[in-house]
Amino acid sequence: MAIKVLIPTPLRQYTDKKDAVEVNGRTVEELMKNLMSKYPQLERHLYAEDGKLRSFVNVYVNDEDIRYLQQEHTPVKSIDVISIVPSIAGGVEINDRAFVGEVRLSNEEIQRYSRHLIMPEVGIDGQKKLKASRVLIVGAGGLGSPLALYLTAAGVGSLGIVDVDVIDVTNLQRQILYSTDDIGRSKLDVARERLRRINPHVEIEPYEKRLTADNALEVLRDFDIIVDGTDNFPTRYLVNDACVLLGKPNVYGSIFRFEGQVTVFDAKRGPCYRCLYPTPPPPGLVPSCAEGGVLGVLPGIIGSLQALETIKLIIGRGNSLVERLILFDALTLKFRELKLRKNPECPICGEHPSIHELIDYEQFCGIQTQPLNSQNDQQSKISPEELKARLDRGDDLFILDVREPHEYQVCNLGGYLVPINDLQQRIHELDPSREIVVHCKMGGRSAKAVEVLKRAGFQNVKDLIGGIDAWATRIDNTMPRY
């Protein structure tokens, strides 16, 4: 009995680029085993070493999470559709405060928002609620740009934005708040200037600081709604936990290549992010947009949906995405809706929570935050300057490039190309007696490759610090960056 299994973008490289495959099976467990048999490389991404489905991977039968059915013993029928969903990063209480009498709209504001005011679902009362609201956007990048633009234009009273980055040329393909003339400037400075020109009635509150466990509760506390525009797992879990502890709704969005996810996490009324993904993937297993890429218009679509959900929460109209997860595939232009359920065993919003304060999220996500100290760690690294000097001396070095072929075409060091996902199968092509220097774009995949090689018995392997991007900025500024 063949059953359709939908494959998310990050995993399609292991299914011959297919977005859907048909597999036989009477239960989810049989189905997944047959899927692994057909595409063996999927196994390490979907299952942990103990043979259990990874905690950051969810499987749905139609729109139901198997965790709330019969788990992997859930029976399946030929008419069912199976979805693999890995992690990729009514109204609210403000309505009472924003009610008629506490807020006034000027004549200019009435004219500005007239297209809202003539809608019975918004009207004067709804626009006053928008003006009285306080919304915080975490991240002023791809998602934060459309969020900030639309929430400012809509008349949100106070808009906080958290970011510490400066504008880079690679941002401009998708971060529509910024222009070529802004390269090198603080994102927050530029955002504040542009947003004030769009709507001088909105108070822009910039927070040019890195959100941490030490300051998150203080920063988030005075806002009504938190909108997650982040691109990394530590901050995503930090935002979630802070929202749960403070009782704030969290409007969530994430993007990767051609796919996006949107929902509203509100632990008062439904699940939180940890209910969906209890723990993060190991470092390096899920590529970031910097390494995996993202279609420029995708954050515009997902960020706009987040802005829509934020406005609906403020005015108290429509059905919010609480308990619903929207998946968007830009290649097929299809939306899918999956049900989310509150996990009674969730460590922060469940029936018996074990998390009562913010934790070290870098450590929780397995990210190295301290400088490398051990001699072995130091010996397994090489700086771009050291590599350049050794190549100039004519040292016998084997350069191993673990990026993808399309990245190699953009720029390369003339190394031997073996994409990281092919390394295990092609390791026989490498000579263990040679000194090998491994690189990728920025260092994430190469560090993983060094581990694979060392486990296979390679003794003399080094990881290029910062990857080919560091080489382009520190050694060869004629090399294109991407």
Report, as residue numbers or ranges, the catalytic residues: 289, 440
**CA–CA separation, 127 and 131 (whole Å):** 6
**CA–CA separation, 181 and 178 (whole Å):** 8
DSSP 17: T
Q: What φ, ψ does residue 221 adopt, rounded to 5°?
A: -55, -40
The set of residues, in sequence order, having a beta carbon less than 8 Å from that of 260 and lying 6+ positions away, is 253, 254, 298, 299, 301, 302, 327, 328, 330
**CA–CA separation, 82 and 69 (whole Å):** 13
Q: Across the beta sheet with 2-6, what order do the strands follow?
A: 20-24, 2-6, 81-86, 57-61, 64-65
Max Cα–Cα distance, the chain, nearest Å: 79
3-state SS, residue 112? helix
Rounding to the nearest 10 degrees, give the CA dihedral for residues 346, 347, 353, 354.
Answer: 160
Q: Across the beta sheet with 203-207, what order do the strands follow?
A: 203-207, 158-162, 134-138, 225-228, 250-256, 259-265, 324-329, 334-339
Contact at 8 Å (CB) between 339 and 275? no
The set of residues, in sequence order, having a beta carbon less than 8 Å from that of 324 and lying 6+ positions away, is 263, 337, 338, 339, 340
Q: What is the full DSSP assignment across 227-248? A: EE---SHHHHHHHHHHHHHHT-
Q: What φ, ψ does residue 408 adopt, rounded to 5°?
A: -60, -35
**CA–CA separation, 171 and 411 (whole Å):** 19
> Token pair of 191, please?
């955002």
H-run or E-run covering 446: helix 444-455
